[in-house]
Amino acid sequence: MIVRQIIRSIGPILIVLLLASCSSRQSLFVVLPNADGSSGAVTIETPQKSVLLDKPYAAGEVRSGVAAPVQVDQAQVQQIFGNALAAQPVLPSHFVLYFEKDSDVLTPASKRQYESVFDDIKRRPVYEVEVIGHTDTMGTQAHNQQLSMSRAEMIRDRLVHDGINPKSISVAGRGSLDEAVKTADQVAEPRNRRVEITVR
């Protein structure tokens, strides 16, 4: 009689435990903090349920095809993902160098900044460099197209002169199409006289 009662009371618990052990974790998702400590968000979408993860170390898992939030700590992340994280490439860098008016000569501050572009490229085992030239809205479109290209080519030539592989550098000129600061036509704007350099 007592035995039957015990079975009756713990039976459902046993079934739940059995089900839980049957449905093992199929996948795990964790949001990591960005370099500045902030984070974006991801949504785990499964047919029955979606789970939003929008904080650093917010985590979710899928069991039996259903998503659910789950707790993980930094140590667990390191244990599971340590190898993948260690294989992460050097992150891409972005630089902006500025030019004198209607010229492909760098401003004094940007001449110094060029050195950090060069150093950033050199610390990478393998690299790709994108150089995109821009102008302000002074002058004709044709002239600005030409000027933006000369600015990009000047940087490329300087990098090649300093030993960077020309095959790994791409250049483009965008004229005054992509202003950093929106202005009317025929406005001299130092912040628009620039090249944008991406190193990855």
Q: Which is nearer to other proteins, 183 or 198 (by Cβ)? A: 198
CB 177 to other proteins: min, Å: 9
Among 7-15, 62-70, 141-149, 179-187, the segment contacting other proteins (CB under 8 A)? 62-70
Q: Does 109 bind other proteins (CB under 8 A)?
A: no
14 token code pair: 């046993």
Among 11-19, 26-34, 97-105, 185-193, the segment contacting other proteins (CB under 8 A)? 26-34
Q: Coil, helix or strand for 17?
A: helix
Beta carbons within 8 Å of 137's beta carbon, 6+ residues apart: 144, 176, 179, 183, 184, 185, 186, 187, 189, 192
Single-letter amino acid code for the residue at 192: N
CA 151 to CA 134: how far, in whole Å? Answer: 8
Strands 129-134 and 194-199: antiparallel
Among 110-118, 120-128, 137-145, 152-160, the segment contacting other proteins (CB under 8 A)? 120-128
Among 21-29, 134-142, 156-164, 186-194, the segment contacting other proteins (CB under 8 A)? 21-29
CA 195 to CA 154: how far, in whole Å? Answer: 10
Q: Which is nearer to other proteins, 58 or 106 (by Cβ)? A: 58
Taking alpha carbons only, the member of 162, 163, 164 closest to residue 130 is 164
Q: Does 40 bind other proteins (CB under 8 A)?
A: yes
Give the binding site for other proteins (CB under 8 A): 24-34, 39-46, 53, 62, 65, 67, 77, 80-92, 124-126, 128, 130, 198, 200
